[in-house]
Amino acid sequence: MKDKETLVATMPQEVLDEQQLSREITDIEFQAEAMVIATDDDYAVAGEFGKLLKRKAAEVTSFFKPMKDSAYQAHKAVCDREKAMLTPLRNAEATIKKSMGAYLTEQERKRREAEEAARRAAEEERERKLREAAELEAAGDTEGAEVAMTEAVVMDEAAAYSVPAAPKPKVAGVTSSKDWEIVDINPSMVPLVIAGVELRPVDQSAVMQLIRASKGQIHIPGIVYREVAKMSFRR
């Protein structure tokens, strides 16, 4: 008995109060289950009991409020410390993604530039061969003219050739996908509606929806956008 009294004496008052409140609520629940309403007086007693329930509920809320406030402040403090560490990491991730995406975009620009240069060179060579074939034909060199024409056809096919994209660098856990970003907006030139999508006042999310749906093929007056590489990391 003495040990039990010692244990009770050393328990925090908050715990003791909670235990007492819990016992009171248990008793109230039993009373509610046992209550029978058969007369007007029973009905009145039940009404008073209902008001007691509301008061007791308010007492419970009041009892736990300091604990909830304290827990919230502790949780907020921990979240703030977590955020302080995560924010630089997220900023660093955004920086790395931007740099990697810019590298891939530049490699694609170079590929397209090389493709265009090769196409122009092939077209120029085709035109030269056509002129050569005409000159040889005029000079009576039919065989030479046929050779030149054959070479002109080859150059015509070469002009339509696409330079294959260089394999992207592969890093485990790193992927890239094609995306677009808005570079400039002239609000006065943007149409009110395109393809049933309201754009004004200028809604950038709606604009991006149209751009992505068209895979970068749509022209929207007042909107300048460009293709970019979107990066993602996995652990």
The confidence score (pLDDT) of residue 5 equals: 53
Which one is predicted more confidently, 23 or 162?
23
Residues 187 and 150 in one domain: no
Give the DSSP letter string of the chain.
Answer: -HHHHHHHHHS-HHHHHHHHHHHHHHHHHHHHHH----SHHHHHHHHHHHHHHHHHHHHHHHHHHHHHHHHHHHHHHHHHHHHHHHHHHHHHHHHHHHHHHHHHHHHHHHHHHHHHHHHHHHHHHHHHHHHHHHHHHHTT-HHHHHHHHHHHHHHHHHHTPPPPPPPPP--TTEEEEEEEEEEEE-GGGS-SEETTEE-TTT-HHHHHHHHHHTTT----TTEEEEEEEEEEE--
Residues spanned by the domain of 184: 174-233
List pLDDT tens digits, range 126-140. 888 888 888 888 888
Q: Is residue 91 situated within a structural domain? A: no
Q: Give the closest residue to 32 by CA, choosing from 15, 10, 47.
A: 47
Q: Is residue 135 situated within a structural domain? A: yes
The confidence score (pLDDT) of residue 180 equals: 94
**Position 227 confidence tier, pLDDT thresholds 50, 70, 90:** very high
Which one is predicted more confidently, 196 or 212?
212
Displacement of CA 21 from its chain's centroid (Å): 48
The two structure tokens encoding residue 145: 């003219």
Who's near 86: CB < 8 A, 6+ residues apart?
none
Q: Is residue 90 situated within a structural domain? A: no
CB contact at 8 A, 221 and 189: yes
Q: Is residue 87 situated within a structural domain? A: no
Q: Is the pLDDT confidence value at 14 over 90?
A: no
Q: Is residue 86 situated within a structural domain? A: no
Provide mean pLDDT across the span 28-38: 94
Q: Is the pLDDT confidence value at 49 over 90?
A: yes
Q: Is the pLDDT confidence value at 30 over 70?
A: yes
CA distance 69 to 75: 10
The two structure tokens encoding residue 81: 């410390």
Residues 153 and 195 in one domain: no
The confidence score (pLDDT) of residue 7 equals: 46
Q: Is the pLDDT confidence value at 59 over 90?
A: yes
Q: Is residue 134 situated within a structural domain? A: yes
129 exposed, middle or buried (CB, 10 Å; 0-12, 13-18, 19+)?
A: buried
Domain end among 132, 159, 186: 159
User: Which residue bears the tokens 């029978």?
Assistant: 36
Provide mean pLDDT across the span 50-61: 94
Which one is predicted more confidently, 235 or 64?
64
Give CA separation, 218 vs 45, 177, 226, in Å: 74, 19, 11
Residues 145 and 180 in one domain: no
The confidence score (pLDDT) of residue 159 equals: 67
List pLDDT tens digits, range 144-187. 888 878 887 777 776 666 666 667 788 899 999 999 999 999 99
Q: Is residue 127 situated within a structural domain? A: yes
Residues 150 and 114 in one domain: yes
**Domain tally, the chain:** 2
Provide mean pLDDT across the span 103-107: 90
Residues 145 and 184 in one domain: no
Residues 178 and 229 in one domain: yes
